[in-house]
Chains A and B, each alone.
Chain A
Amino acid sequence: MVPLNWYLMLSAVVFMIGVFGFLTRRNIIIMFMSIELMLNAVNISLVAFSHYLQDMRGQILVIFIITVAAAEAAIGLAIIIALFRNKDTVHVDEMNEMKG
């Protein structure tokens, strides 16, 4: 039997890889994919919890997370397209109009 902790550690590692990608990549689409990675990491731990605690709530939550991820991807990508039209770039470090 695989212990639950293994899943949690896997989840943590994947999540942190996602965070790293988000913090360091210049391409905003890859940053978005990093977010998806983080969401998936959370899903892994939720499904694992659900299985080990014999409770369906974790998987219900996963369904909602996937829903939100889909919505987020749709909106986010639409924003990226609008952004690309205006600025002709997808590099985040070239977008600093909000600089104080």
Chain B
Amino acid sequence: MLPELFFGYFAAVIILLSVIVITRRNPVHSVMWMLLLFFHIAGLYLFLNAEFIAAIQVIVYAGAILVLFLFVLLLLNLREELKVKRFVGAWPAGLFITTAILVIVLGAVKSFVPGPAGKYSIEFIKQETHTKALGKLLYTDYLFPFEIASLVLLVAIIGAIVLAKRKTRSK
């Protein structure tokens, strides 16, 4: 009973916050609602015994990505944003497409059959601690993708600097 309630609360809040995030007129408010949304998602991760993921959800998403959004919003002057239309003219079409896909996907979820369970049972993770289990896997089987991810980040750093740097006028 309690887990269901718990989940119900989180799910309801997450959905509500998602809607709020995409409908706010003021992007800064959107960001703040999104911050709250990320905390709830992190809570959901804790509920799913993924404490490390929950932590990086907060650190990376809330602590880095959203702050970046906020920074960009502050750098851009968006005063007139509060006076203009929020949605494109054809938003009902978007709503229709989205609802149609949603209905079909929700229909499809019913027929989902889970595959066989792996070795990472709740007890196993508890005993080993979640971070350690994840780290062992990440640095052995997934070492190569991990290295690629680091390269992606490097490219992103350099790319962001190059893109956002104000062009110095060449003589």
Contact = CB atoms under 8 A, between A and B. Distances in A.
A95 interface: no
Nearest to A21: B22
Interface string B109-137: 11010111111111010000000011001
Interface residues of A, number: 70
Nearest to A36: B65
A68 to B, nearest CB: 6
Contact of B101 (A19, A26, A62, A92): A19
Interface string A1-20: 11011111110111011111
A69 B65 contact: yes
Contact of B145 (A16, A55, A64): A64
Contact of B30 (A7, A12, A13, A30): A30
B3 A24 contact: no
Given A26-B85, A75-B156, A53 B3 contact: no
Contact of B61 (A17, A24, A29, A66): A66
Interface in A28-81: 29-30, 32-34, 36-37, 40, 43-44, 47-48, 50-57, 59-60, 62-64, 66-75, 77-81
Given A6-B7, A19-B101, A13 B15 contact: yes
A85 B77 CA distance: 11
Given A14-B14, A23-B97, A47-B48, A78 B114 contact: no
Contact of A53 (B22, B114, B162): B114
A78 to B, nearest CB: 4
A67 B53 contact: no
B104 to A, nearest CB: 10
A20 B159 contact: no
What 10 A-B pairs are tightest by C-beta distance, nearest first? A21-B22, A71-B156, A55-B118, A23-B94, A78-B163, A24-B91, A78-B164, A78-B160, A74-B160, A16-B102
